[in-house]
Structure 1
Amino acid sequence: MTQVATDSFAAAWSLYTQGRVSQAAQAFAQLVQARPAWGEALHMQGVCHLQLKQHAQALPALQAAAQYTPQDPSVHSNLGLVLRALKRWDESLAAYDRALQLKPDFAQAWANRGNVLRDMGRGDAAVASYQQALVCQPHYAQALHGLGLALGDVRRWSESLAAFDAALLQQPDYAVAYMDRGNTLRELERVPEALQSYERALQLNPQYAQAWSNRGVVLKRLGRMADAATSYERAIAIDPSFVDAIVNYATLLKDMMRLPSAVAMNGRALALDPDNSGAHLNLAICHLVSGDWALGWPHYEWRWKTEQLKDGVRTFAQPQWQGEPLEGKTILLHAEQGLGDTLQFCRFAQMLAARGAKVLLEVQAPLLGVLAQLPGVHALLARGQVLPPFDLHCPLLSVPLALGLTLANLPPASAYLQADVEASRAWRHQVGQGEVRVGVVWSGRPEHKNDHNRSIPFEEFQRMFRPGLHFHCLQKEFRPADRQALASRSDVAVWDSLLHSFSDTAALIDAMDVVVSVDTSVAHLAAAMGKPVWLLLPFSPDWRWVIGRDDSPWYPHMRLFRQASTGQWAPVLEQIYQALGQFARLEET
């Protein structure tokens, strides 16, 4: 190599080390133009374009560098970076593997290889790659951070937290590690600590939009709605194109029942990302809970593209029913989401049968007994059972869209589910006569995503218990604290050991005079049986409980008791206490 070439390379390198990367890229390009097979110059030209995020220009330079200097592990490692940025995962992985063949103790390549494996959804392999990076370099903060992310991918949350803590021990000013640590603490339900972690990230980097948005998530979870709104607004001010923050803010506005603002914010998200499923689903909920069903149902179809439900998509050779004539057709209606959804929407089997369809209904196995006599069903099937031939299919919650269902044309629902006559007779004998019998449900499944809003601790719920009435638990599962509080009540009968199925629960419900429940499947079952149901609703209710009314268009014998503000159950329980007094006097007369 001539002295002129050496000096030219040194000058280009000086520009690079001074941070004048764009000028350095031009200088290295001139060297390559004069000497096309100069591997080191090609490598640095590619590195400059990589730093400038000019991946399309970086790729050919690094590929040529790998050709002319095939024994340099750094070239292959940097090629892996570019290929990852271009989402060419397999080629990126191969580049890192080549770098590690040349240099097995190359910690950075092991860590970057872990990043690619995470992108590919290979969480366990990513964990192993980060761990190998740490064998090579035990105090490598970035590898510890990556390990924390990969452990989270495979839901090893406690180990994930330990990895983030180790990364922060090595690099205390590592803002992104604090942010991701907060995410893990959220998964561990350590919400106040998650807030502290996000706030530490923001102390280190006040312009960290993602941390502001995630801070909003936990503030909402803690019931600090106004503070959450401020946090989202800050995230969006920093990055006006931050769609996730905009959708999160729209969700918060919906939960604050600021529905016009929520609709507008979702519209802003969709202007940036027309296929954003979260914004579409938010819009659906805003319209449906407002009673604008014609606007809401089409957006509700986007539920299948959300993270929560996309794995539940069913694919059939037969087309989905879109509302076309059904005369002489066999249609498969299949359950989705929760048991309450199935109990509410199975009513449509009778409507489709009246249109001339032979209706196959596939439901969750626990509901088979209670749905056995559902009108309009030609064949009732358990999910996973071999399906008979059919012409069309439709998820249960897509039927309203196909029917063009609105508040104005929703048919009145008489009781469409019944308990077994003999079982009901036995339960009536068991619970006794002579007093007003009130069935109660105060909590649902703890794993339900909105359980913290709908369930009520028994110690608080018992405020509604009125002397002279007899109360019967309709639920089977109890929190430990609830079980202890229950033991002190002689006026509450607990039947969980005798409730082996929904059919048993239906028979017990049939022996009740009224059912008082939070928003659970038992409430839907009782309402579908035509039993008077008093439903306790949080300030931001599920979309099916249309706002501005104390009755339900879905169930003619249901009465809605709504929170006036987030988290405040005491006034609702007092209303029910008074209403039970009136109900008892009516029953006695």
Structure 2
Amino acid sequence: MLNLQQALELAHQAIDSGQTAQAEAICRQILGVDPHQPETLHLLGILLHQGGRNAEAVETIRLALTVKPDFVHARNNLGFILQSLGRADDAENCFRQVIKETPDFPGALAGLGGLLLSQGRFGEAKQAFMSLLARFPDDTATMFNLGLAHQHLGEMEQGRERYLQVLARKPDDPGSLANLGAIYQGMGQLDEAMACYRQVLKQKPDASSALCNLGVLLLEKGDMEAAKDKFRQVLAMQPDHPEALCNMGNALRKQGRLPEAIEEFKKALHIRPDMPQAISMWGVVLLEQGQPEEAMARFRLALTLKPDFFEALANLGNACQEMGRLEEAIGYYRQSLAIQPRFHEALANLGLACHKLGRRDEAVANLNLALEIRRDYPEALVNLAAVLHKQGDIQAAIAHFQRALQLRPNHPETLSNLGNACQDLKRLDEAVALYRQALDIKPNFPEAWSNLGNALRFQGKLDQAIACYQKALTLKPEHFEAYSNLGVAYMELGRFAEAIAACRAAQHYQPDFAEAWFNESLVRLLTGDFKGGWPGYEWRWRMPHFGGHGYDQSQWDGSPLEGQSIVLHCEQGFGDSIQYIRFAPMVKAAGGVVTVVCPRSLGRLFTSAQGMDRLVIQTEKLGPVDLQIPLQSLPLVLGVTVETIPSRPSYLAADSVAVATWQRYLEGVDGLKVGVAWRGNSQHKNDHNRSMDPKLFARILNVPGCCFFNLQKGADRSELDLLAGSGRLIDHSDKLTDFAETAALMAHLDLVLAVDTSVIHLAGSLGCPAWVLLPFSPDWRWLLGREDSPWYPGLRLFRQPAHGDWMGVVAQVTHRLEQVVAGKSSILWPVRG
């Protein structure tokens, strides 16, 4: 007869040979002799568990522990069986009791760590696995599980190191490769992630999760067809694979095939109705279809199924941002980031929302953080470029747009944004090419059509520009920006009724769109409707590129001042300030104590202005005042019309000492002395329209009997060399240190001849005769169809006979100049009323 030890060895041999029924019979024979034999009870409990009879297994092992309470192996295995029954608390008690009795017992540490992982208690799980790894430093299963804990805790660097430790010992371990790929993916190291998934697929070509993850990475890199091929491979093996269907829908969405994308999401939800990812992605499509409220309902439904679904929270933020509810959007992004602090998409969109609210530092910080997490994240690069563009750092913006296009070469929105940056640098041919490239990829892209229209308008191709705006409006009838741009194009063609109608349409679709109101005001002012134009002109302060004027005092409304102090401050170009300083005496007459604040370059000139008690340079301390008003808002409160413009031969004067100094520079100069300027500030929005090519302007300098003086500040050397070729251009522009010096030089001239720039306003304010060379659609202040100006009696206007026809202007000017030299015409010839 066998003794106990021999019988147990025989049972183990039966187990090793797969004869579990025989092993169970042996155990029951032993227990028939000794019903409380603990080792046999433990072994029978294991066999019952393997046979799926877990309730019996628990009772059997508990009996063993009653007989032998310090039987740690039995208690540890009881923990695993209880865990399989879903009795997590009882299982945890077992593991912890074993560890308390035997702190270094590896099975209990491993069991506790696995249980804690399954419960999402990742910090505690990490501690259990670290204790186990300290005892067994070469155990790859513990390394793997510790990597999982790090990964779930967002400790990506530590997780990566653990998986690399496993792979150093087991180079083809598929679980470690897959998880390492996920970590690289989360860190934005997409190429490394793809290499991991491909290595998994080399061993297991049918690994659906690796195929899906590889497809998602290809999507992120913009390779839509390759991504879809991976999803198709999964679906060929598993037609009802909900993740592959959802990912296929996302790929179709990114290709703009939105109805097809929705069908894929529907398929996924038919298989798994409670799949929050598919519900949320359906919401993303609805958002792109212009249905933000419906999209938000989807995102909220996804969150009821998965309350910690940080992607859905971020999508709620995107929907709010789309509707202009920026503070609400920021709240959702912060909720998303509270769950997943390294969610780069939420950080990038949070940065964009902060940018729209003018919180530039916060925007840049969030976008840079997104790029730290994922250095090759195109959306963050594009959003950061938008912030830099807004800040005026256009070259840096272009660099970021170009980097985004390296990562995602055919992204139409990025191409269009890069075109906008090039357009702002006056690189119009590049801008047009970029817009056309975007439209080749995405023909139904209304914003790109409108942007292309702007570039073509700046090139003077107005008919083509109008066609582009109309195409944009066909695609998106509520595109208010396209309507406003169309209004400007119509104005430049002299189609004023259509211009106003287009601006009104923009206002209808977006009542607070400042540019539409401002553009309508320009049309009305240009056509002489000052009463209808001045109110809309005030909308300039709501336009982003104007910014605020920085004064906190209430704005004067034109009522009697009765001794109150008021500051009149410059706001835009130098010429505008010179033009509007004429109204200071009218403010003084209203009973005010008048202070004028101006830039230093106008300071000496403005000391000759009337109607002010004090002059302050912008960099100097102002002191307390009661009221303020920008100079260009004075016509509104004063009720100025074309007929009531204060028009005097001069209202500013040159400094007598400076005039005497300039005398010596003009000694010995013969002929008609003419000051010239051929272009304005290149940063001016209308510079493309008002400035003249110096090659064309040079023809005027060939008129004999004249000596020309350069009044153009900041001219390129190449321009001066070209114009000096006539031998009649005298250049003392280095001595024109401020407007007072230029005024002193003008005091010695017979005529000023220039395009629409501050030089003309200076000449007009001094009473110096001047001829203005104007485009077909001039700045509003020059009005229409007249040779003189109600603003300046000493001016005569030469207008393009057709859009872009500077040659016609040059012909008029040279002919008139020749007549003046020949004594056949006066400089200021009489004009018909």
What displacement does 1:536 show? 0.8
Any conservation in 2 of the 1:423–1:504 contact (CA below 8 Å)?
yes
Any conservation in 2 of the 1:186–1:194 contact (CA below 8 Å)?
yes
What displacement does 1:218 show? 1.1
What displacement does 1:373 show? 2.1
> Residue 453 and residue 130 in structure 1: after superposition, are their counterparts in 2 closer, same or farther (change >3 A)?
same
Any conservation in 2 of the 1:127–1:151 contact (CA below 8 Å)?
no
Alignment correspondent of 1:428: 663
Any conservation in 2 of the 1:77–1:99 contact (CA below 8 Å)?
no
Match of 1:347, SS?
helix
Counterpart of 1:422, as a letter, is: V
> Residue 191 and residue 457 in structure 1: after superposition, are their counterparts in 2 closer, same or farther (change >3 A)?
closer
The reply to whether residue 455 of structure 1 matches residue 691 of structure 2 is: yes
Alignment correspondent of 2:610: 375
Q: Which stretches in structure 1 are left out of the alignment for 5+ residues?
A: 2-9, 32-39
> Residue 167 and residue 517 in structure 1: after superposition, are their counterparts in 2 closer, same or farther (change >3 A)?
closer
The reply to whether residue 94 of structure 1 matches residue 351 of structure 2 is: no
Any conservation in 2 of the 1:178–1:197 contact (CA below 8 Å)?
yes
Any conservation in 2 of the 1:123–1:154 contact (CA below 8 Å)?
no
> Residue 272 and residue 289 in structure 1: after superposition, are their counterparts in 2 closer, same or farther (change >3 A)?
same
What displacement does 1:183 show? 2.4
Counterpart of 1:570, as a letter, is: M
Counterpart of 1:94, as a letter, is: R
> Residue 166 and residue 320 in structure 1: after superposition, are their counterparts in 2 closer, same or farther (change >3 A)?
closer
- 1:209-255 superposed Cα distances (whole Å, 9 cap, x missing partner): 11111111111122211111111111111111110111111111112
Structure 1 distance, partners of 2:625, 2:513, is: 33
Superposition TM-score, scaled by structure 2 size: 0.62
5 Å-filtered alignment, 1:32-47, equals none
Match of 1:19, SS?
helix
Which of these residues, 766, 779, 789, is aligned with residue 529 of structure 1? 766
Counterpart of 1:463, as a letter, is: R
Which of these residues, 586, 596, 607, is aligned with residue 361 of structure 1? 596
What displacement does 1:271 show? 1.9
The reply to whether residue 111 of structure 1 matches residue 345 of structure 2 is: yes
The reply to whether residue 566 of structure 1 matches residue 803 of structure 2 is: yes
What displacement does 1:374 show? 1.1
Alignment correspondent of 1:19: 262
Identity %: 32
Any conservation in 1 of the 2:776–2:800 contact (CA below 8 Å)?
yes
Counterpart of 2:649, as a letter, is: S
What displacement does 1:547 show? 0.7
The reply to whether residue 556 of structure 1 matches residue 793 of structure 2 is: yes
Counterpart of 2:617, as a letter, is: A
5 Å-filtered alignment, 1:502-541, equals 502-541=739-778
What displacement does 1:364 show? 1.6
Alignment correspondent of 2:646: 411
Any conservation in 1 of the 2:303–2:312 contact (CA below 8 Å)?
no
Range that drifts further, 54-63 or 479-488: 54-63
> Residue 127 and residue 392 in structure 1: after superposition, are their counterparts in 2 closer, same or farther (change >3 A)?
closer
> Residue 123 and residue 513 in structure 1: after superposition, are their counterparts in 2 closer, same or farther (change >3 A)?
same
Range that drifts further, 329-338 or 143-152: 143-152
C-alpha RMSD over aligned residues = 3.1
Structure 2 distance, partners of 1:368, 1:217, is: 37
Alignment correspondent of 1:437: 673
> Residue 341 and residue 164 in structure 1: after superposition, are their counterparts in 2 closer, same or farther (change >3 A)?
closer
5 Å-filtered alignment, 1:307-326, equals 307-309=544-546, 311-317=547-553, 319-326=554-561
> Residue 162 and residue 337 in structure 1: after superposition, are their counterparts in 2 closer, same or farther (change >3 A)?
closer
Structure 2 distance, partners of 1:117, 1:134, is: 15
**Considering only CA atoms, is the larger Rg found in Structure 1 or Structure 2?**
2
Structure 1 distance, partners of 2:329, 2:779, is: 41
What displacement does 1:447 show? 2.3
5 Å-filtered alignment, 1:110-149, equals 110-121=344-355, 122-135=362-375, 145=382, 149=386
Structure 1 distance, partners of 2:700, 2:543, is: 38
Which of these residues, 618, 623, 634, is aligned with residue 399 of structure 1? 634
Any conservation in 2 of the 1:134–1:144 contact (CA below 8 Å)?
no
> Residue 45 and residue 385 in structure 1: after superposition, are their counterparts in 2 closer, same or farther (change >3 A)?
same
> Residue 320 and residue 216 in structure 1: after superposition, are their counterparts in 2 closer, same or farther (change >3 A)?
same
What displacement does 1:360 show? 1.4
Any conservation in 1 of the 2:528–2:783 contact (CA below 8 Å)?
yes
Alignment correspondent of 2:505: 268
5 Å-filtered alignment, 1:198-217, equals 198-217=435-454
> Residue 130 and residue 287 in structure 1: after superposition, are their counterparts in 2 closer, same or farther (change >3 A)?
same
Range that drifts further, 55-64 or 181-190: 55-64
Any conservation in 2 of the 1:280–1:302 contact (CA below 8 Å)?
yes
Q: Which stretches in structure 2 are left out of the alignment for 5+ residues?
A: 1-83, 85-239, 250-260, 288-293, 321-325, 356-361, 827-833
The reply to whether residue 467 of structure 1 matches residue 707 of structure 2 is: no
Structure 2 distance, partners of 1:236, 1:337, is: 32
- 1:322-375 superposed Cα distances (whole Å, 9 cap, x missing partner): 221234333221111011011000011112223333221111221110110211
Any conservation in 1 of the 2:316–2:329 contact (CA below 8 Å)?
no
- 1:52-79 superposed Cα distances (whole Å, 9 cap, x missing partner): 4435434544554554xx5xxxx11221
Alignment correspondent of 2:721: 484
Range that drifts further, 166-175 or 428-437: 166-175
Any conservation in 2 of the 1:66–1:76 contact (CA below 8 Å)?
no
Structure 2 distance, partners of 1:96, 1:151, is: 26
Match of 1:564, SS?
coil
Which of these residues, 556, 576, 579, is aligned with residue 344 of structure 1? 579
Alignment correspondent of 1:5: none
Structure 2 distance, partners of 1:340, 1:46, is: 55
Alignment correspondent of 1:4: none
> Residue 112 and residue 28 in structure 1: after superposition, are their counterparts in 2 closer, same or farther (change >3 A)?
farther
> Residue 66 and residue 153 in structure 1: after superposition, are their counterparts in 2 closer, same or farther (change >3 A)?
farther
Counterpart of 2:574, as a letter, is: L
Range that drifts further, 140-149 or 334-343: 140-149
Alignment correspondent of 1:36: none
Match of 1:470, SS?
strand
Any conservation in 2 of the 1:284–1:298 contact (CA below 8 Å)?
yes
> Residue 587 and residue 301 in structure 1: after superposition, are their counterparts in 2 closer, same or farther (change >3 A)?
same
Alignment correspondent of 2:417: 180
The reply to whether residue 57 of structure 1 matches residue 57 of structure 2 is: no
> Residue 394 and residue 144 in structure 1: after superposition, are their counterparts in 2 closer, same or farther (change >3 A)?
closer
